[in-house]
Structure 1
Amino acid sequence: MLVFESAEDLLSASGSELGVSDWLLIDQERINRFADATGDHQWIHTDVSRAEGGPFGATIAHGYLTLSLIPALASQNYRISGARMGINYGLNKVRFITPVRVGSRVRGRSELLSAEALAGGAAQVVWRTTIEIEGADRPACVAESVSRHHF
């Protein structure tokens, strides 16, 4: 796992692949808990019987559930140490490419696309996370997220 201890560390890693996480099982319990947390109980996510006859042949994870896994998956690939504060600054681009069927395993591939020095020893970083599905040719999600880290 890579550890970034300063803005300079982040700047020097621009354009680098940082690692790939372990596989994570997406089960119906996780999908249901996410539906409860967000109020999104659309049948393609929560109605197992109806979804079996639907377009995906099973329930699928919410796209935003897949997106929300980025912090947990990325934390296996890199860590930022020594920062006084880190904040999510936004998202540049998110694409949900392939549905994640219940029972699938996913993992996160992390890249540091760019880093820019900010005043006071801070850095703004653009990360790309690709959420891969075990055995699938195409990823579930590709997201470019932006964060700021104050050292």
Structure 2
Amino acid sequence: MKIAIGNDHAGTEYKFEILKYLEEQNHSVSNHGTDSEESVDYPDFVHPVASEVESKEADFGIIICGSGNGANMTANKHQGVRSALCWTKEITVLAREHNDANILSIPARFTSKPQAVEMVKAFLETKFEGGRHSRRVEKIACK
């Protein structure tokens, strides 16, 4: 599976933990995030992730910033992107099952690193349920 990942300065340590997990699972990763904790602007690192998911160059995206909100709002500007801001494994599972989320937005200042890795694992392993949820997901896109 190909995963695009992006982060700002608040998510750098989290990204390194997540990258380690993704590499252990033999996923192909394109890293668009900063490797520094020096202040940067999250949209510069989130738009490339969302573009890869939008164009289907990547199967899924993972974005990380302090609150997860700014990154999530940025990603959701892209057509075909359904980015979900999640802070627990349970919310992550529901975002995949019910909303067919294709980008996971992680709030680094409100989750632990082990929790973030657990959410990534759940995100990548959980399948979209379809059924009644398909109709709702189709209504998300502006046409």
**TM range, normalised to the smaller chain?**
under 0.3
- Bigger radius of gyration: 1
Greater strand content? 1
Question: TM-score when scaled to structure 1?
Answer: 0.22
Greater helix content? 2
Question: TM-score when scaled to structure 2?
Answer: 0.23
> RCO higher in 1 or 2 (8 Å CA, sep ≥ 6)?
1
